[in-house]
Amino acid sequence: MSFDHSMNAEITFADNVSVEAALNALTPLSEYFGWTHEELLSNTLYGDNTVSMALESGMVQSISLYTCGDVGDSFPELVHDVARILNAIAEPGSIELRDHSTGDLENAISTIWYGPPEGVAKAQLEAAWNNARDLLRSAGASVECLDAMASAGGFLPSLDAMDLQGPGKEITEGDVADYMLKRIESGDLALEDIPVRLARYGLMESRVFIAEMSERMAMQA
């Protein structure tokens, strides 16, 4: 079985890596497509496939990757193999894999994350945050309240502007961020549910939000 795909990624390395390390990260793909090192370095791949490396002093800063066309059912696992290699050398990021053969638009796009776990969790939350803003905007709602939610890297309610003295102990930005990350890591909060959840929190009055967070964190303790 095969499917018509497209895949793209903008990969930034945590520290500039050697050309050898960059080529090694792409090994699953180069073996599948039959790319040679010379073709990768010169970006002379067949069809519309492109692999562009940004080099400085002989070291690779980033890779821009795009592939398309028919691939086998095993191809998604190869993309995950690339992500596993990138975990150790790349900044948090994602590879977008699209299946153009399906009529199911909702499930046609797969996002494969890579990078250090903590950084990936934050990047996933930021992506969910942006989706929440898009959902509100598409519904004709104001996103000003969401723009004010700047704590924990820009994706949790802005506790700076809130009275944090709830009925229990004081809640800090770190408390809320840790609570949300633990729920995601444990599987208690699905990533696909985050946009709606963030939109709901963003529309809450500050005291209501604090009260709910206090209750939820007390139950988890």
pLDDT score recorded for residue 159: 38
Residue 49 CA, chain-centre distance (Å), reads: 23
30-87 pLDDT, tens digit per residue, is 999 999 999 999 988 988 899 999 999 999 999 999 999 999 999 999 999 999 999 9
pLDDT score recorded for residue 25: 96
Q: List for the chain the helix, strand, coil content (%; round to 5).
A: 45, 25, 30
- Cα separation, 31 vs 47, in Å, equals 17
pLDDT score recorded for residue 38: 93
- Cα separation, 213 vs 210, in Å, equals 5
- Cα separation, 126 vs 129, in Å, equals 5
Does the pLDDT value for residue 154 go beyond 50? no
Structure-derived torsion over alpha carbons of residues 200, 206, 207, 209, reported in degrees to the nearest 10: 30
Does the pLDDT value for residue 95 go beyond 90? yes
Mean pLDDT (whole number) for 130-158: 54
Largest CA distance in the chain: 65
Does the pLDDT value for residue 168 go beyond 60? no
Does the pLDDT value for residue 100 go beyond 60? yes
Domain 2-115 listed as CATH 3.10.450 = no
Residue 47 CA, chain-centre distance (Å), reads: 28
Q: Are 145 and 202 in contact (CB under 8 A)?
A: yes
Domain segments of the chain as ranges? 2-115, 119-220
